[in-house]
Chains A and B, each alone.
Chain A
Amino acid sequence: MIAALDITPTYYLVVAAALFTIGGVGLLVRRNTLVMFMCIELMLNAANLTFVTFAKALDDIGGQVIVFFTLVVAAAEVAVGLAIIVAIFRRRQDVTADDVSALRG
């Protein structure tokens, strides 16, 4: 028998914060543009998880509704992002962020 754990909203919030941090650090550390996209997805989903947790805790449907909007927006963003990546790949056969550096900031 596994002892029944009392899972409070705090657990979900901590998981969400961890996801957000992993995504943020990954975005800074990884150089492959596709992996960078995945990290951003992690960050967006951390926000989603926080919204759902609060929606459940506060008994407010608004928090769950915003998740649907976020999912649609994230899908649109990925579509555009991959299109840009494909445009670059067609010219360079490589998607490493360091190579995209014709312009100097």
Chain B
Amino acid sequence: MNPVFDWHALAPDVVLAATVLLTLVATFLLPDRDATQVSRIAAIGVLAALVPVVTLANDGADRAMFDGAYVVDNYALALKAFFLVAAYVTILLSVDYIQEGDYYRGEFYFLLLTSVLGMSVMASARDLITMFVALETISIPTFVLAAYRKHDRVSNEAGVKYYVIGVLSSALMLYGMSLIFGYAGSTRLAEIGAQVSAAGAPPLLAVAVFLSLVGFAFKVSAVPFHFWAPDTYEGAPTPVTAFLSVSSKAGGFVALLNIVFFGFYGVDGAGTELWWPVIWVLAALSMTLGNLAALRQTNVVRMLAYSSVAQGGFMLVPFAAAGIAGAAGDLGQADTAFGAVVIYLLVYGAMNLGAFAVVIAAARRTRSAEISSFAGLFQTSPTLAVLMTVFMASLAGIPPLAGWFAKFVMFQSAVEAGGAWGITLAVVAGVNSVIAFFYYAGVMRQMWFKEPAGEDRSEIEVPYALTGALAITAAVTLVVGVYPQLFARVGELAF
């Protein structure tokens, strides 16, 4: 049997793979390893990969290849588009940071895009082997990126911590996958789902599911598997931290969605009891401990790290809600809840990348990531202060910003899933939204009500690439807040 290649469906990944190779070759051929040129190649390549995503979405047909191991449907396309746009914004964030650092430059974009290629494949992966390879393609370049400032002790430490935890989580996940393979007799998620529905859930499968969920929990830094995140986020170069906390985390969530929705869910929600309690606990712990730890932080990057742990918890809420609804036999509600995960992911990506863009812009003057370094930002750079306020308010979930809409669908999914567990989770999420407001408001207070510390009170100069990143993320945060149907439709189409 010859495999069928649908080149149109493969086009986004092929363009991205070609760009990856081109950036590597260009790095070595360009005089003085001119990173500005390489960053342009990378940015153009990412935008070029978006073109086939749009034409495929226009076409609308679901395309399956390699015996169903690689599928391009609306869900995959929505996530591919998200990963590509997030990659483009990350490149914009990195250009000046990398150019001004004294480190190897062009290779940065090679590593970044390799990781994005893994994410793009992950969106389409419907098979354990494909998922494993895609997840490792996402992870391995990010280990190097975290340790990118190789003469810097803190960056080394960030790299080694991330590496050990990343590899450990792959090992747990792979062992879980091997047991699933033994149970289902296939690596295709669809056949695993069919087996779950047909044969029920023996204890072996429970162990297998638990091991793979723990593996993914490390990737999405869910409590109690989050302890690497704050150290890695603080030690890594800030654009890399933005990438880790948005794209890499989203990659983990997409993997989790794939294996749970297409696999453990079963064809009719038969397997939900296996996984929803685990995810319920992860969600409740991540929200609570993430927020409480974020309250104590004085460093804005560490605060954003714990905030991203907490936001990950919020993203797990509709996940658990989908399991509760599925267990009750309400399959339509379960699909809506899975859609809510995707919506939250897209919104979180925009507002978190935006917050990091402001942190990078402000650090160009202050050379500091302390929250106190934001003091009086409104007096020196009013635009940056207003944008930071928008992103912080959106992360806190204040209307009419995108974060509010994401929180709304999250609450809705938990409440409508119903049952004592669904309502309890909604209450936990509600309390945590209030706690979260305090540390986001802490940054706002510094910017608006404190006097600037330094002598230099001129406006912070923001390079044009960073301006672009701020414009894109702010536009998404504002537009989706005012006109949420835009993303709501994506959530509906995806499931």
Asked whether A77 and B177 contact (CB < 8 A) given A103-B154, A103-B231, the answer is no
Q: Which residues of B contact A48 (CB under 8 A)?
A: 178
Whether a CB of chain A sits under 8 angstroms from the CB of B153 is yes
Instruction: Write out the residue numbers on chain A whose beta carbons fall within 8 Å of the beta carbon of B129.
Output: 62, 65-66, 69
CB within 8 Å of A: which B155-170 residues? 156-161, 163-164, 167-168, 170
Q: Which residues of B contact A104 (CB under 8 A)?
A: 231
Give the docked Cα–Cα distance between A40 and B228 (Å).
Answer: 17
Which residue of chain B lies nearest to A60 when distances are taken between CB atoms in the complex? B185
Within 8 A of B (CB), among A89-105: 91-92, 97, 100-105
Residues 168-195 (chain B) with a chain A CB within 8 angstroms: 168, 170-172, 174-175, 177-179, 181-182, 185-187
Roughly how many angstroms separate A16 CA and B178 CA in the complex, as a whole number?
11
Task: Report how far A101 CA is from B227 CA in the complex, Å.
Answer: 13
Contact of A66 with B128 at beta-carbon distance under 8 Å, contacts A88-B160, A103-B154 already known:
yes
Q: Which residue of B lies closest to A63 (CB)?
A: B181
Q: Which of A43-102 contact B (CB under 8 A)?
A: 43-44, 46-48, 50-51, 53-55, 57-58, 60, 62-63, 65-66, 69-70, 73, 76-77, 80-81, 83-85, 87-88, 91-92, 97, 100-102
Asked if A58 contacts B182 (CB within 8 A), the reply is yes
B157 and A101 form a contact (CB under 8 A): yes
Residues on the A chain within 8 Å of B172, using CB: 43
Q: Is the CB of A69 within 8 A of B132?
A: yes
Task: Give chain A nearest CB distance to B186 CB in angstroms.
Answer: 7
Say yes or no: B171 contacts A44, CB within 8 Å.
Answer: yes
B171 CB to nearest chain A CB (Å)? 4
Say yes or no for B206: interface residue by CB 8 A criterion: no
Q: How far apart sit A92 and B159, CA to CA, in the bound complex (Å)?
A: 15
* Bound-state Cα–Cα, A36 to B165, Å: 11
Residue numbers in A under 8 Å from B235 (CB-CB):
102-103
Nearest chain B residue, comparing its CB with the CB of A54: B182
- Report the Cα distance A66→B133, complex, angstroms: 9
In contact, A50 and B182 (Cβ under 8 angstroms)? yes
Q: Is the CB of A47 within 8 A of B171?
A: yes
- B494 an interface residue at 8 Å Cβ cutoff? no
Task: Looking at the assembled complex, report how far the CB atom of A20 sits from the nearest CB atom of chain B, in whole angstroms.
Answer: 6
Return the chain A residue nearest B177 by Cβ.
A47
Chain B proximity of A82: nearest CB distance (Å): 10
**What is the bound-complex CA distance between A57 and B164, given in angstroms?**
33
Decide yes or no whether B252 CB sits under 8 A from chain A. Answer: no
> A23's contact among B128, B161, B171, by CB below 8 Å, is which?
B171
The reply to whether B153 and A102 contact each other, CB–CB distance below 8 Å, is yes
From A23, A55, A70, A80, B163 is in contact (CB under 8 Å) with: A80
Whether A70 and B174, one on each chain, are in contact in the complex, defined by CB atoms closer than 8 angstroms, is yes
Shortest C-beta distance, B297 to chain A (Å), equals 12
Assess A62 versus B171: contact at CB under 8 Å? Given A77-B136, A103-B235.
Answer: no
A103 x B171 contact (CB < 8 A): no
Q: Is the CB of B175 within 8 A of A47?
A: yes
B163 adjacent to A91 (CB under 8 Å): no
Bound CA span A40–B181, Å: 21
List B contacts of A47 (CB < 8 A): 171, 174-175, 177-178
CA A84 to CA B141, docked complex, whole Å? 12
Q: Is B344 an interface residue (CB 8 A)?
A: no
Q: How far apart are the CA atoms of A43 and B211 in the complex, in Å?
A: 13
Chain B residues lying within 8 Å of A73, measured Cβ to Cβ, are 132-133, 136, 140, 170
**B143, CB-defined interface residue at 8 Å:** yes
- Which are the 9 A-B pairs with shortest beta-carbon distances? A43-B171, A50-B178, A54-B182, A103-B231, A47-B174, A47-B175, A73-B136, A51-B178, A87-B150
8 A-B contacts (beta carbon < 8 Å): A43-B172, A47-B178, A50-B182, A58-B182, A73-B140, A81-B167, A84-B159, A105-B227
